[in-house]
Amino acid sequence: MSTRIIEISNTDDVIDVRDVIARVEELEELLPPADESDGTDNEERQELATLMSLLDDLKGNGGDVDWRGDWYPLLLVRDSHFRDFAQQEAEDLGLIKSDSSWPDNCIDWEQAAQELQVDYTTCEFEGVTYWYR
């Protein structure tokens, strides 16, 4: 029924909450009211319900994204990707160079990621844990 701007999936390593919001708004525009539906849009209605549930979990937990009067985090980072995310954040902030040599290339990134997670909170998206702050 609809053409997707962006597909939101629990297989994504990083989810931009602005993409979730854009998809919700797109679905809201495309779907007729429930009482006018002929049932052919059930997949899109389920997707909308799933994304709205995610946004409800995130709503009011601070963040950088203002939508419909509530604040949301900008990014969701899949638990299995958090170590790589922590390393990339350190590089992006100029704390570590990507082509570093000793001692920077000897960092225990598992421990670094665990320490970074102290500033993050978890949510579940279709059975997968994501981190946000």
Residue pLDDT, tens place only, 15-33: 999 999 999 999 999 887 7
CB 101 within 8 A of CB 34: no
Query: Do the domain assignments include residue 3?
Result: no
**Boundaries of domain holding 55:** 14-132
pLDDT tens digit sequence for 30-83: 887 766 666 766 899 999 999 999 999 999 887 899 999 999 999 999 999 999
Indicate whether 6 belongs to any domain. Answer: no
User: Does any domain span residue 61?
Assistant: yes
pTM of the model: 0.86
What DSSP assignment string belongs to 64-97? Answer: SEEETTEEE-SEEEEGGGHHHHHHHHHHHTTSS-
Residue 55 lies inside a defined structural domain of this protein: yes
**Per the structure, how many domains does the chain have?**
1
- Secondary structure of residue 11 in the 3-state scheme: coil
Q: Is residue 2 part of a domain?
A: no
